[in-house]
Amino acid sequence: MRRWLDSGWVYSAELDRRWAVALHQRSARPLWLKLMLWCSRLGDGPMWAAVLVALPLAGGPRGIACARQLAAAGVVNLAIYFTIKGWTRRSRPCQQCPGIQACAPIPDRFSFPSGHALHAAAFAWLLTAAYPALAPVLWSYALLVAMARVVLGLHYPSDVVVGGLIGVCTAALARAWV
């Protein structure tokens, strides 16, 4: 049984590397690289802080409720993020895969899970719940942030998928409890 698990894991890791290399090759296109850098920058912490400040000011009672849920999810997300990142200590693809280089500043040593994807998914989930008409824009944005992290050579596809799943789960819990 253990051999089967090990071989399955190795095969999955190889697929993850292949997808990372394939997506990173898109960074050779200057316009695409600029778009991905812009999307990644919009996924940084200051943008989320601006949303948290703007929601109560512009959204009234619904904005206040949404901001509370976002803040609660954000605290839980950070705790989970740092715990998993410290436990797994997975190197970034730009540090261990030939053919992948970092096209943006590396925020820290480890790649799993993607904090950008985690927060983008959590925000998309909660903002969609509060403002359903914005769903196409919010989820497109979350997907672009996640893809940007892989294209820029900072994450593997599995990093952004797991980060997104964690973000959706914590957002759903925050919506139910806050």
For the stretch 40-76, pLDDT in tens is 888 887 888 888 888 888 878 888 988 888 888 888 8
Dihedral (Cα; 139, 92, 46, 54), 10-degree rounding: 20
Residue 6: the pLDDT is: 38
Give the CATH number of the domain where residue 61 resides: 1.10.606.20
The pTM for the full model equals 0.82
Beta strands in 9-112 (DSSP E): none
SS3 110: strand
Regions of the chain with pLDDT less than 70? 1-11
Tokens 């959590």, residue? Answer: 122
Residue 22: the pLDDT is: 73
Query: Cβ distance 159 to 109 under 8 Å?
Result: no
Q: How many domains does the chain have?
A: 1
Query: Cβ distance 171 to 73 under 8 Å?
Result: yes
Nearest partner of 169 among 64, 41, 73, judged by Cα: 73
By residue range, what is the domain housing residue 149?
2-177
